[in-house]
Structure 1
């Protein structure tokens, strides 16, 4: 399914905003994770940093390692899933569900659009995220 250009641009913009939101949510969760300030600081920095590194290595448009689409989707599921779980953990249950639904929908549309663009079928190898 090829998305019309304005819809593709909106979906890609939303994808970027979701990625930023995921990092912010992980930092928020890290800060809320403990009463000890040192632990809070480490968690608030380490959680989003780990997600960013994982994303940059495998899921970013110019990822360090080109991996097959299922691995890219796994990384996205891990990062977005961890972010939704983090929202849930800070008692934002509705926001967690909304974030998960929007992230899954956005990723599905982007994946379908890129597959149509490249002419790749279900068994295709690497498609740029």
Structure 2
């Protein structure tokens, strides 16, 4: 049963990672009435987040170009997932932002308890 719960938490982590990209993309397409800015922010924002995650956080750090551990990894996750929550908040989706960040906190606490960080 514990293995099933750990796998569900890993799935939640993956879905949260995708959620960050969706949130930043959504924010980008709502940030301005001008189509040029919408395209730049809506496509460029997620691209920057993907680049940062690939460099420092991919695969729990195992697939990252420059893997971070310890406090640096914790800071990356707080900034990464906080960025997703802030994008939702900036888009006017307060409830979604709070729910998103609460799910991240739950996921992080479970990974710490299970020593999966």
The two structures have a TM-score, normalised by structure 1, of: 0.82
| Superposed CA offset, 1:53-77 (max 9, x none) | 1111111221111222211111111
Cα deviation code 1:20-57 (max 9, x no counterpart): 01100100000101111011001011111111111111
Equivalent residue for 1:76? Answer: 77
Unaligned runs of 5+ residues in structure 2 are none
Size of the aligned set, in residue pairs, is 114
Is 1:41 the equivalent of 2:22?
A: no
Aligned position for 1:95: 96
- Indicate the residue corresponding to 1:17 in structure 2: 15
Checking the alignment, whether the CA contact within 8 Å between 1:55 and 1:76 is kept in structure 2 is no
Higher helix share: 2
Report the TM-score, using the length of structure 2 for normalisation: 0.89
* Whole-angstrom CA distance in 1 between matches of 2:20 and 2:30: 15
Report deviation, 1:104. Answer: 1.3
User: What CA distance in whole angstroms lies between the structure 2 residues aligned with 1:48 and 1:5?
Assistant: 32
Q: Which runs of 5+ in 1 are unaligned?
A: 116-128
- Give 3-state SS (helix, strand or coil) of 1:100's partner: helix
The structure whose Rg is larger is 1
